[in-house]
Homo-oligomer: A and B are copies of this chain.
């Protein structure tokens, strides 16, 4: 990586011009750095005449989190680029186009999606995305099925898994999601008002057992090429379109992990809702929409996944009666458990979500955190015995009623 240097605006333009057949030779290109600078530089390069634009994304050799900075492998840019290419091949309408890349500079050049909104922001703004469940359910079903032993050559899959060994970024997940929140370590970050709930978390060994089992799955179950960080901040949306970005955490892991990320982040937005509306009727409607979306995401995933299995399954023994049902049940249970981990870490761990953190009212923000912890713990404890997504919806409703959060 000795040839690596961080791009300037001018470098980024030069690089953008090197993409064949995109900009005309005489185009007068503008360039703007639009990233948050924590992990990557993100340049938007535009030709104001043709209105064509693209993104040059460059990985930085470190991560900045809450003022701290630690080194991070540049190889993640290769992983992200290769994952994007695979995911785009499998779901062309749901993943940005990759125009090119450079290994030494840790660069990926890709489609500009500035006409889309980051879904987390869109949800906080109160928008709805009626096509999202079909889009994300299909994205997850297709990308997981076709990279798994069910849908691809099982020898090529092993070699592909080796190319997606991703120790640095998996380490972040292993620490921040599956370890830190459950013990008193400096990496945690929680507000003083939930100290009692957090201490309960540290002492709840029944919960730790579930976390240990889920951590084991994350460490050892190489089922499919996961996105690996599929929260609502990794998804661009409009009313009509969904685009999944940022798969730098991609690796071969358990299928339930990507689904769990979606469920957790919709539930985090759900718990934040009282902070965003004082109209009881609108609040109720909004929460119902979020719960229905969770159910629809699962149902869309399941329907697409079963159809792919039945029509394109390559493994004769996978057609054995009863096996598909057991497999789907496993994915659901894993998804529920992972969703629980992902909710808890966003309240107790290093990295929080704007859905809750930007609630202005202290009491409503506090209540959102407590509710998120309650739901997260319940998902962890019921995960291994879940038999349908409806149970999870009902469980969530019960907790909200018990917590006395106004509906």
Question: What is the size, in residues, of chain A's interface with B at 8 Å between Cβ atoms?
Answer: 42
Check A161 for interface membership: any CB of B closer than 8 A: yes
Check A19 for interface membership: any CB of B closer than 8 A: no
Check A183 for interface membership: any CB of B closer than 8 A: yes
Residues of chain B within 8 A (CB-CB) of A159 are: 165, 167
Check A67 for interface membership: any CB of B closer than 8 A: no
Among B149, B179, B182, B326, contact of A219 (Cβ-Cβ < 8 Å)? B149
List A residues 200-227 near B (Cβ within 8 Å). Answer: 205, 208-209, 211-213, 215-216, 219-223
Report the bound CA distance from A211 to B219 in whole Å: 24
Check A322 for interface membership: any CB of B closer than 8 A: yes
Residues of chain B within 8 A (CB-CB) of A327 are: 216
Residues of chain B within 8 A (CB-CB) of A162 are: 161-162, 165
Among B168, B170, B208, B320, contact of A209 (Cβ-Cβ < 8 Å)? B320
- Contact status A220-B221, CB under 8 Å: yes
List A residues 147-197 near B (Cβ within 8 Å). Answer: 149, 154-156, 158-159, 161-162, 165-168, 170-171, 174, 178-179, 182-183
Residues of chain B within 8 A (CB-CB) of A155 are: 167-168, 170-171
- Contact status A208-B320, CB under 8 Å: yes
Check A5 for interface membership: any CB of B closer than 8 A: no
A residues lining the B interface (CB < 8 Å): 149, 154-156, 158-159, 161-162, 165-168, 170-171, 174, 178-179, 182-183, 205, 208-209, 211-213, 215-216, 219-223, 315-318, 320-323, 326-327
